[in-house]
């Protein structure tokens, strides 16, 4: 029995040593878990902050796109207005172009009448002068 007692004592000491070793390792694992937990909390906080920044940027981008849409609408309205003005001016030019022949005929008739009037005055003056 002595050898069995020695074996039991050795086993008991080994078990005690193993238990201490397991306890130390368990404490190390707990510390590692606490460190990892703190790291994960910090990481989660940083990720949330970055998501908030991205959300703010998206809001700014949406606002900018709304401004661009409004400006494009204004430009479309101005473009439509300018097209109407151009159409109106084109119509006026076409009217002038169509009436230019009438104006030219009017000027030539006017010049003929003025020329005939001057000729009549000159011939009247000449005949009056000759009669005296």
* Token pair belonging to 76: 């479309």
Please determine, for residue 2, whether its predicted confidence score (pLDDT) is greater than 80. Answer: no
pLDDT in the model for residue 132: 60
Least confident range from 28-37, 56-65, 69-78, 99-108: namely: 99-108
The count of other CB atoms within 10 Å of the CB of residue 13 is 10
Predicted confidence band at 65 (pLDDT cuts at 50, 70, 90)? Answer: very high
Domain ranges of the chain: 1-96
* Token pair belonging to 72: 């494009």
* Residues 95-122: tens digit of each pLDDT: 777 776 666 666 677 777 777 778 888 8
Residue 78 to residue 75: CA distance in whole angstroms: 5
| Mean of pLDDT over the chain | 85
Please determine, for residue 38, whether its predicted confidence score (pLDDT) is greater than 90. Answer: yes
HEC letters along the chain: CHHHHHHHHHHHHHHHHHHHHHHHHHHHHHHHHHHHHHHHHHHHHHHHHHHHHHHHHHHHHHHHHHHHHHHHHHHHHHHHHHHHHHHHHHHHHHHHHHHHHHHHHHHHHHHHHHHHHHHHHHHHHHHHHHHC
């Amino acid at each position: 029995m002595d050898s069995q007692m020695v074996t039991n004592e050795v086993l008991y000491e080994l078990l005690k040593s193993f238990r201490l070793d397991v306890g130390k390792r368990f404490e190390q694992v707990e510390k590692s878990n606490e460190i990892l937990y703190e790291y994960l909390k910090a990481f989660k906080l940083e990720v949330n902050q970055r998501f908030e920044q991205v959300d703010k940027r998206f809001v700014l981008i949406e606002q900018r796109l709304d401004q661009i849409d409004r400006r494009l609408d204004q430009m479309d309205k101005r473009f439509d207005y300018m097209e109407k003005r151009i159409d109106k001016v084109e119509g006026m030019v076409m009217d002038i172009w169509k009436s230019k022949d009438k104006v030219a005929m009017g000027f030539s008739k006017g010049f003929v009448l003025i020329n005939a009037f001057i000729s009549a005055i000159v011939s009247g003056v000449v005949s009056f002068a000759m009669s005296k």
